[in-house]
Chain A
Amino acid sequence: MTVIFMYIALSESWTILGGYAGYVSFGHVAFFGIGAYTTALLLLHVGVNPLFSFPLGGVAAALFAAVVGYPIVRLQGPYFSIVTLLVALLTSLVVKNTPALGGTTGLWLPLPDMPIELNRTTFYWFMLFMALVATGVTAWVENSKLGLGLMAIRQNEAVAEAAGANTTYIKLAALVLSAGLTGMVGGIYGYLRSYVTPEIVFDLNIGVTLFLMALFGGCRRWQGPVLGAVILSVLGEFLTLNIGEEIARIAYGLCLVLVVFFPDGLVGIIDKITVNRKVAFGGKHAVER
C-alpha cells in the first residue's frame, strides 16, 4: 500500500506539467533522487529526522528545477523529454562520482528507533499524506489560472503566446511545483529504504513508471493518475510475484504502447462511454463533437 501511495503522489506531481501542458518529462526521477539525498544528508550531518525534513527535500528539488528548468522548458516535444532524461542521468552520474555523497555505494541511514510494525505504519501514513497533498495540489492546479495556462499551452502554444501568456514562465512554474512535490516524496522514500544510493533513488524505472501511470490513467485530469497508479501498481506487483519482474516490465512497456492510442487514458475512455450514452438520448452538443 505504501508503494501505491508513493506512486499516486509521484504521478500526480508529474501530471502538473506532463499532463496538463503535454510536456512529457522522462527524467522526473532526478527530483525524486535530489529529495532523497537532501534528507539523507540532513539526517547524517545535522541530525534532523527525514520525517521532519522531507519538505526541505522538496525545496531542494524545486530550487534545482528552477535553476536548470529555464532553458529546458523552452524545448519542444521529444527534445524536452530527452533533455529531462539526460538531466536525470547526469545528476546521477555526478552523485556517483562525488565521495561526499557516498559515491556509488551511497549513504546508509540509521532506521528510526522503533518497532518494525510501528515503523511500517509510520511510512504508510506519511506516503498517504503525500498522496493526498499531491492529488490536492494537482486538482487545485487543474482549476486554477496556472492550469488554464498549461492547458492552453497543450492545445496550441503559439496561440497561447500570441494571446499574451508568458508560456515559459507558466511552464517553469509548473515544473518547479511538480519537482517540489516529487522531491518531498523522494525525501521520505530514502528514509523508508534506509539506504540511499544512485541506483535506488535515481532508478530510471521509477522515472518511467511514474509517468506511465499518469498517462495510463489519463493525465488530463487529476483523477487519472490515481486510477493509473492503483491499477498498474497492483498489476505490476501481481506479475512480479507470480511470473517475474521482466514480465511485469514488459507489461508496463505494452501499456506505454497502448497509451499512445488512448491519449486521454482510462479517464478518457470512461468519459467516452458516458458521453455516448448522452448521444443515445439525443444530446445535440455531444453529437456536434
Chain B
Amino acid sequence: MGMLVTSLASGLLLGCAYAGAAVGLSLAMGMARVFNLAHTALGLTCGYLAYFLLTTAGIDPMVAVGLLAPLMFLAGLALWPTLFRPTVRGVADPALSTSILTLGLAIVLENALSKVWTPNPRIMSTPYSNQAITLFGFTVQGSLVVAAVLGLLLVLGLHWFLNRTFIGLAIQAVAQEPDGARLVGIRAELVSMLVFALSVGTAAIGGVGLAMIYSFGPASYFDWLLTVLLIVVVGGAGAILGTLISALGVGLVLGLGGALLPQAWNSLILFGLLLTILLLRPYGLFK
C-alpha cells in the first residue's frame, strides 16, 4: 500500500514535469499552427547543454535553465522567419508541412547530439538528485521535485501570461479569429513569431526538467515526444490548463505502470493510448 501511494505521488510529480515539456508544444500547435515534432529534441539538446554546464563548470541545472530558456527563445525568433514562416504561410496544410520540417530537424539534432556526446546514456547528478525528500509523508526523489516545480511554474506562468497580459490576449485573439485580430490592428505575423519563440523557449525548461529525472541518450527525445503528444492530444492543443490536467493523468498512468508492470508494457500502454485517442478524438478530448 505504501509503495502504491508513493508511486501515485511521484506519478503526479512526473506529470508536472511532463506538463512543462508539453505546454510549449500545445501552444505551438494550438496558436501558431506548428506541429513541432522537434519540440522534445530541442528540449533534449538543452538537457545535454545543461549536462555539459554541470559537468564542466559545475553550474546547477536550475541556473542553466535560466540561461538556456532565453537563448532558446532567441533561437525561436531566428527560426521563425527563416524556416517556419515559409512553411506555414500559403500552404494547404501547415500542420503537415511543419511536421515534415520538424521531423527533419529532430533527426539532425539527434545525430548531432550523438556525434558530440556519443550515443551512451547520461545522467545528471546534482547534490539533490538522489536525495530523498519527504513531502506530506511521501518520500520522493529530489530531482523529481525540482523538475515538477519547474514544470508547474512554467504552466501556471504561461496561463497567467495568456490571460492577464495584453500581449497574451492578443495571442489568443489571433488563434481564435485571425481576421478579426488583424482588423483591430494586431500584427498576426509578429504574434505567431512570438508564440513560436515562446514555445521553443519553454522546450528548454521542459527538456532540462526531463533530463534531470531520466537517464537520457540522443534518441530519448522520441519517447518523450510520444508522451508529450499524448498529453497535448488529450488536453487539447492550445489549452494550457487542459495540458496540465492531462499531464497529471498521464503522469499517474506512468507512475502506476512503472510500479506495477514491466517496462515493455509501459510503452505498450503509452502507444496504445495515443493511438486510440488519435483514432477517436484527434483534436482533443475537450473540444
Contacts and interface: CB of A to CB of B under 8 A. Distances in A.
Interface stretch (A7-15, A48-56, A78-86, A140-148): A78-86
A249 B111 CA distance: 7
A279 interface: no
B100 A260 contact: yes
A244 B115 contact: yes
A5 interface: no
Among A75, A77, A87, A252, chain B packs the most CB atoms within 10 A around the CB of A77
B275 A83 contact: yes
A90 B268 contact: yes
B278 A255 contact: no
B110 to A, nearest CB: 8
A103 B95 CA distance: 36
B275 A256 contact: no
Nearest to B119: A246
A250 B111 contact: yes
A253 B267 CA distance: 26
Contact of A72 (B95, B100, B264, B279): B279
B112 A97 contact: no
Contacts of B229: 82
Nearest to B112: A250
A260 B37 CA distance: 14
Contacts of A257: 83, 101, 104-105, 108
A260 B278 contact: no
A143 to B, nearest CB: 24
A22 B92 CA distance: 11
Interface in B250-278: 264, 267-268, 271-272, 274-275, 278
Interface in A16-72: 22, 24, 26, 71-72
Contacts of B274: 82, 86
B106 interface: yes
Interface of B: 35, 83, 86-87, 93, 95-101, 103-112, 114-115, 226, 229, 264, 267-268, 271-272, 274-275, 278-279, 282
